[in-house]
Amino acid sequence: MIVVTNSALSDLQESDLELQRPRATLVEIAADKLREFILLEKLPPGATISERDVAAALGISRTPLRGALTLLEQDGLVEYSVTRRPRVADPSLEEVAENLVVMGALEALGGELACVNATDSEVKNIVSLQQKMAAGADTLEPLDFFRTDMTMHQSIIKASGNRALIETHARYNARLWRARFVSSRRSDGREQTLAEHAAIVDALSRRDAKATAGALREHLRSAVTNISVALEERRAAQQKE
Among 71, 72, 88, 114, binds a copy of itself (CB under 8 A): 71
Are the CB atoms for 111 and 117 separated by under 8 Å? no
Rounded to a whole number of angstroms, the minimum distance from the CB of residue 224 to a copy of itself is 12
Among 61, 148, 154, 168, binds a copy of itself (CB under 8 A): 168
238 touching DNA, by CB under 7 A: no
The entry of DNA, a copy of itself, none near residue 48 (CB within 5 to 8 angstroms by kind) is DNA
Q: What is the dihedral of CA 26, 32, 38, 43, to 10 degrees?
A: -30
Q: Which are the contacts of 89, defined by CB distance < 8 A and separation ≥ 6?
A: 45, 76, 77, 78, 79
Among 86, 91, 111, 189, binds DNA (CB under 7 A): 86
How far, CA to CA in Å, does 117 sit from each of 101, 148, 159, 222?
A: 24, 22, 7, 27
163 touching a copy of itself, by CB under 8 A: yes
121 touching a copy of itself, by CB under 8 A: no
Q: Which is nearer to DNA, 63 or 187 (CB)?
A: 63
Among 56, 102, 170, 209, binds a copy of itself (CB under 8 A): 102
Backbone angle region of 86, left / alpha / beta, with phi > 0 → left and psi within -120 to 50 → alpha: beta
Nearest to 45 by CA among 187, 238, 241: 238
The Cα–Cα gap between 12 and 54 comes to 22
What SS3 class is residue 15? coil
The entry of DNA, a copy of itself, none near residue 50 (CB within 5 to 8 angstroms by kind) is DNA
187 touching DNA, by CB under 7 A: no
32 touching DNA, by CB under 7 A: no
Piece of 3-11, 74-82, 119-127, 132-140 that binds a copy of itself (CB under 8 A): 74-82
Q: What is the dihedral of CA 78, 80, 81, 85, to 10 degrees?
A: 100
Q: Which is nearer to DNA, 55 or 182 (CB)?
A: 55
The entry of a copy of itself, DNA, none near residue 74 (CB within 5 to 8 angstroms by kind) is a copy of itself
The Cα–Cα gap between 241 and 6 comes to 45
**Considering CB under 7 A, how many residues would be counted as binding DNA?**
28
Task: Give me the numbers of helices (H) and strands (E) for the chain, helices first please.
Answer: 10, 2
Question: What is the CA 115 to chain-centroid distance, rounded?
Answer: 23
Instruction: Please report, as ranges, the residues that interact with a copy of itself according to CB under 8 A.
Output: 19-23, 25, 27, 63, 66-67, 70-71, 74, 80-84, 95, 98-99, 101-102, 105-106, 108-109, 113, 162-165, 168, 172
Question: What residues line the site for DNA (CB under 7 A)?
Answer: 1, 3-4, 6-7, 23, 25-27, 48-53, 60-64, 66-67, 80-81, 83-86
